A and B are shown apart, each in its own frame.
Chain A
């Protein structure tokens, strides 16, 4: 079969879906855009959008092809921007409305959803924010993205008195440790607007899921990092403590941490047990 004939016979379904999808990914325009907090523009829909509508869509009794396509177009955008606004409220507060929505539009144009779930939509936002807005905003975004990861992570069995001494213990999969160049966690906690008091303070932020299922974060003593790192790897508790003994402060401080972390539900019985 000649190449020209093969192209002519290309299935319509594939071409239709690819073309329809390109229209969805175009920027919002007109009344749909005005219904959002995106920077207003008088730009109309592109010629491409209108051509896709005319080429693919049959005129309806009440809507033109472009109007019908517009309904899917706006649903696509509204769904995504609502999701990101819900997942990054701190970033929104930090950047302010104008800059936040400029960023979100730019992000979605360059990073459309690559997952079956909207929960993962913000995966690439923290590095993009760091690059465009700086490390403080990037750190705030990182904490908020990590909260989503903690929301859906697995849960290991909680250790009891016996398993604490006889089983491999590790941090729960939903416990995430963030080494940040700034005190983004404290800024989020205090619902502050001014970042100046927080910029010069590298911080260790732990994000986890509580017993009730809500996701929270806390800024912890950076001296605890060696012990947390060892617990991340997992092992028999006495071995873990022996490994990090030289890096730890006094015993009383370690036990205080340990009691605190246990109450918070950070520990789990590892699935890899001693043979």
Chain B
């Protein structure tokens, strides 16, 4: 289990992403979900339905913020306007920690809206770690950084991805959001042993895990979050839980989103891998 300083002392079980097609079901049926993850940028608005729904969800559920726009790998450094918006939202959600990706995504104020891969060099590691420390200090909340799926590696890389991730989180002293689907996707695309990745990372820093589906093509895999979780990913998840203990786990299903029940049913399969770890309340108490 992660050290409490990375989880703010919270022990969360299985959660799913809060998605628009499920709003009505959640508000009317009040399903027994331990927690919901929101994409922070979707709620960085001044008003409107997203915030109205979020406020209703917050009355009954724990919400954790997950971002896609921090870009700690940007050579230019962090966007403090973005951080201010993030912190305002955190005040509303009371998120126990916040997370974002080990990536970069903009140059000179132009945005890619993607999670772009980094060269695994000490220069990159130092830059990312510095940005993560700043972000964590600014937010006054534990930060977990997520490994991304990638489709390129750089000539200049000096180490493996898992060595890079470990270097970054230890320099920055932040947590890890371990996405085992992303590990699988990248392992196929780049030809490395995914289990070596899972076995290497510092288990005590794993604040949260992601599981998800992907799309398989003839010569590569794309991280599309639009399918059930496949067996190789469950295998990685099982090993990750074995190493890390009971860890907040989130199923990502972001495209071709099926019914709430189907998504929740898929997420609950994660419970099958918790048998040999200390039990925590991994299903929310039934909400009246």
Contact = CB atoms under 8 A, between A and B. Distances in A.
Contacts of A72: 112, 114, 116, 151-152
B114 A213 contact: no
Contact of A11 (B47, B123, B157): B123
Interface of A: 11-14, 16-18, 20-21, 24-25, 55-58, 60-63, 65, 68-69, 71-72, 75-76, 79-80, 112-118, 151-155, 173-174, 209, 212-214
A68 B127 contact: no
Interface stretch (B38-46, B137-145, B163-171): B38-46
Contacts of B123: 11-13
Nearest to A209: B48
A213 B49 contact: yes
A63 B222 CA distance: 13
Contacts of A58: 152-155, 157
Given A16-B156, A60-B189, A71-B222, A114 B109 contact: yes
B96 interface: no
Interface string B184-204: 000001110000000000000
A63 B219 CA distance: 7
Contact of A113 (B75, B111, B116): B111
The interface size bin for chain B is 35 or more
Nearest to A115: B111
B153 A113 contact: no
Contacts of B79: 116
B222 A12 contact: no
A100 to B, nearest CB: 21
B112 A154 contact: no
Contact of B220 (A17, A62, A76, A152): A62
A112 B108 CA distance: 11
Contacts of A18: 107-108
A174 B219 CA distance: 48
A114 B154 contact: no
Given A62-B189, A72-B152, A151 B48 contact: yes
A13 B222 CA distance: 25
Contacts of B82: 116
Contacts of B118: 13
Nearest to A116: B69
B111 A116 contact: yes
Contacts of A114: 109-111
B74 interface: yes
Contacts of A13: 75, 118-119, 121, 123-124, 127
B113 interface: yes
B219 A213 contact: no
A152 B107 contact: no
Nearest to B192: A61
B231 interface: no
Contacts of A11: 75, 123
Given A58-B153, A62-B219, A117-B41, A20 B190 contact: no
28 contacts: A11-B75, A13-B75, A14-B75, A18-B108, A20-B116, A21-B110, A56-B152, A56-B155, A56-B156, A57-B152, A57-B153, A58-B153, A58-B155, A58-B157, A60-B191, A61-B191, A63-B151, A72-B152, A113-B111, A115-B111, A116-B69, A117-B69, A151-B48, A152-B46, A152-B47, A152-B50, A174-B47, A214-B49
